[in-house]
Amino acid sequence: MRTTPVRPRARPGDRPSIPDAVLAVALAAVSALCAGLPSLTGGPGEAGAAALSLIAAGSLTVAARRRRPLAMLVLNGAAGVTLAALGHAAWPLLPATLVLVGTVAAHRGLALSLCALAWGLACHAVSASLTGGAGDWRAHLLTVVLTATAWVVGRSSRLRRAYLAELRDRAERVERAREADTRAARAEERSRIARELHDVVAHHVSVMTVQASAARRVLASDPDGAGEALSAIEETGRAAMAEMRNLVGVLRTDASPAERNPQPGLGEIPALVDQMREAGLWTELRVEGEPGALPPGVDLAAYRLVQEALTNSLRHAGPGARARVTVRHEPGRLAVQVEDDGRGTAGVPSPGGRAGHGLAGIRERVALYGGVLRIGPRPEGGFEVDARFPLKDV
């Protein structure tokens, strides 16, 4: 398969333009008219056809100044030296020389711009020596000052364009970084909401499933017990709906913080333990140490850890299992442990099969706050979830 070579596109500043052509024609006309005037050195103004042709050619180089500025300056200088060699003054080409020196300084690097400045001054020196005007120091000083000024103006223009380009590039980089941060924040928020939804739905649906199963078994023999189970199912469903409504409210851009209830924390664990007892899982709660202020994120993460661990015990530990929740407030650390004495390693589904989205969410929560987590079967049977949260900033 043949491929067509791709040529680099010319920069906008490198393409010839109508204003440059108009400027070149104007300089050629003015220079030709000035060739008949007395020279800067006081000599007579005479110009033949050859001299006028050289003046016109040297001035017309300005038309291509943006595409080949250094080459055009070389041609302009060569025309001036040739004009001087023919015995005519080269000063009519000075305006074109100044324009070309400034263009090289504005559109090329420092080394080339210095070469252009040196070339312009060298051509002037050679032309002056050829025409015998080397003694007029005022004319030479004026030419040097004008040439140096053109170079400084061109160089300043280049530096200003480079500065503006850097500012634009920096603004674009900042904008891209801000967009990347926004995408990362959105992804993190989606992940957080997914964890919250899983914890809320999995816990309440598991409780409702167990209570519905109990109500079905005792519906004929104990209608009152079945009614209590159904009432518990209704309350659990309402609680699930309230938590989900609170969570989905985070996604609404027009929702104010006052419209959302506070997130649960360790203070709601006793109510959670009571709910698990009503669902049929014997649960014990132990709190050790003096409770202190907790960061809101750690408080929520600890609650969700207990909620997910007890939900797994309710679903997988089997009938008659017992669970224990231990919360220890230690200096600089919060320890949360949930263990059950269910089927454990001897059970037919292995506790390792419990790992799913919920336990993965627990790992993410604990890691987010720099904690240490251990999840696995107990040596004496059952399952254990043990987390340690550092509280250095509290």
| Residues contacting 268, CB < 8 A, separation 6+ | 303
- The residue among 110, 135, 160 that closes a domain is 135
Domain containing 347 — which CATH number? 3.30.565.10
Would you say residue 342 lies in a domain? yes
114, part of any domain: yes
Query: Considering 135, 155, 173, which residue would you say is the last residue of a domain?
Result: 135
Structural element, H or E, at residue 187: helix 137-218
Number of domains in the chain: 2
Look at residue 170 and tell me if it is in a domain. no
Query: Per the domain annotation, does 49 fall within a domain?
Result: yes
Is residue 109 situated within a structural domain? yes
Place of tokens 């016109």: 56
> 9-38, pLDDT tens digit by residue?
444 444 557 887 788 788 777 777 766 554
pLDDT given at position 84: 82
C-beta of residue 99 within 8 angstroms of C-beta of residue 65: yes
Q: Is residue 249 part of a domain?
A: no
Low-confidence ranges of the chain (pLDDT < 50): 1-14, 38-45, 253-260, 344-355, 394
Task: Report if residue 224 sits inside a domain.
Answer: no
Please tell me the chain's helix, strand, coil percentages from 3-state DSSP, rounded to the nearest 5: 65, 10, 25
Q: Where are the beta strands (DSSP E) in the chain?
A: 282-288, 322-330, 333-340, 372-377, 383-390
State the residue range of the domain holding 72: 14-135
| pTM assigned to the model | 0.45
Check residue 323 and give its pLDDT.
92
Residue 41 carries which DSSP code? T
Model pLDDT, residue 338:
93
Choose one of 135, 156, 179: the last residue of a domain.
135
Is residue 232, in this structure, part of any structural domain at all?
Answer: no
Residue 387: what pLDDT? 93
Q: What is the chain's alpha carbon radius of gyration, rounded to the nearest angstrom?
A: 44
